[in-house]
Amino acid sequence: MSIKNDWWKDFFNKIYLITDARSVLDEQLTCQEIDLVEDVLALNKNDRILDLCGGHGRHALELARRGYRALTVLDFSNYLINLGRKASKKEGRNIKFVCGDARYSGLKSKDYSAIIIMANSFGYFLDQKENIRILKESYRLLEREGRLLLDLINPDCVKNNLEPISWHEANKDVVVCRQRELKRNIIKAREIVISKKKGLLRDGYYCEQIYNGNRITNILNNMGFKDLSIKKDISLHKHKKDYGFLTSRMIVTGVKP
């Protein structure tokens, strides 16, 4: 299965919000995810929080509803960032939305007390050095004693339960079919999206690196993070189905000394 190195540049668009609506547009799930973030990071309302690779800002919006005041969302997808800006304006929230590359954000150093990378948004690069660049950038952006949270795929769940073929009805019109394979800690997937009315909407490929506990903690330790913590086997969807990479999560946290 052949994957382009920059597949992510044009993947997260209007079709993505259809194919992944059962996760990324589920308000109850978002609330549960933020419950988890608040608990694990022990957030307070004055924290300066960066939602890195944050898409349309669903997590930042929920944090704003809970009284957090200093929120930034960065994502490469201009489409998703614009959606987030509109939603923030509609709700009267003061959230900063930035369209940019998480490896080279251009944001101010040591300006954030917490960074969250949610919903398996880390690990998109086939070249491991590029994934590590995101962690290095996170380290640069965090203030001293700043906290990082990675919401990753649960590697055990993937290795034991990954179905090579899956499909689901995204809505009454759209069917999503996925072919998936796991080789050398990388999941490669082909996604075919079909509209009953319009025909083929997408035939594309994407990938995700998976990390076991030892692999990710070694990377973070070598980077300088301390007080590392791992929570595995976290399932937040209310129904037991195949939700792809979000079926079971591994939450990893670390502190910049």
- Strand (E) or helix (H) holding 182: strand 174-183
> Per the confidence metrics, is the pTM higher than 0.85?
yes
> What are the pLDDT tens digits along the chain (257 aa)?
889 999 999 999 999 999 999 999 999 999 999 999 999 999 999 999 999 999 999 999 999 999 999 999 999 999 999 999 999 999 999 999 999 999 999 999 999 999 999 999 999 999 999 999 999 999 999 999 999 999 999 998 888 888 899 999 999 999 999 999 999 899 999 999 999 999 999 999 999 999 999 999 999 999 999 999 999 878 776 656 655 677 789 999 999 99
Q: CATH number for the 7-154+211-255 domain, one of 3.30.1130.10, 3.40.50.150, 3.90.1150.10, 3.20.20.10? A: 3.40.50.150
pLDDT at 158: 86
pLDDT at 1: 83
First to last CA, the chain: 41
Contact 141, 112 (CB under 8 A): yes
Give the domain ranges of the chain. Answer: 7-154+211-255
Could you tell me the CA-to-CA distances from 113 to 108, 166, 225, 254, 255 in Å, in that order?
Answer: 12, 39, 14, 12, 10
pLDDT at 212: 94
pLDDT at 2: 87
What are the tokens at 182?
């796991």
pLDDT at 157: 85
Q: Which residues contact 66 (CB under 8 A, 6 or more apart)?
A: 34, 38
pLDDT at 240: 64
Taken in order 134, 40, 247, 14, is the CA torsion positive or negative?
negative
pLDDT at 192: 98
